[in-house]
Amino acid sequence: MDLLDRARTLAACPLFEALAPAVVVRLAERGRVREVAPGETCSSEDHVWIVASGALAVTAHGAVDALASIGTRRARGTAAEAGGALGMIRVVSPATPPVTAYATEPTVLVGLALDDVRDVLEEDPTALAALAEAVAALLLREAG
């Protein structure tokens, strides 16, 4: 996945869609691609993960037993599909427990180190405001 594909993946995420193209490109330059096979995991411990393709079953640490099936994880957690973001809250609140996600099918992710996202947002108050508005809009949509 080249830089343009990483930028497209980020721009397709509702959290990033209102960011200026230059900001999306700066994030994409810092992004890394990870392919996850069904049953493999990723964690939001150090990264924000954006789903480029595929799907993940997501659960908070401690929400289910470590040996729980993917079906149990789906039932007690949520799913992340193309455009979904995992771990963004840890950018602004590092004390938030990380989440673990299990691939339910072959999945391609774009990972952004938490510090890289913080750096870009600290450099650009407009990007930070756009991200805050996107989070608020998503929360209102979920509540309504």
Average pLDDT of the segment spanning 69-73: 49
Any idea what the CATH number is for the domain that residue 58 is in?
2.60.120.10
- Structure token pair of residue 142: 């979920």
Total of domains in the chain: 1
3-state DSSP of 98-142: CEEEEECCCEEEEEEEHHHHHHHHHHCHHHHHHHHHHHHHHHHHH
Instruction: Specify the pLDDT at position 60.
Output: 59
* pTM, to two decimals: 0.83
pLDDT at 74: 47
Question: What confidence score (pLDDT) does residue 93 get?
Answer: 87
Containing structural domain, residue 88: 3-143
Segment 117-136 shows an average pLDDT of 90
Q: What is the pLDDT of residue 137?
A: 87
Structure confidence at residue 140 (pLDDT): 82
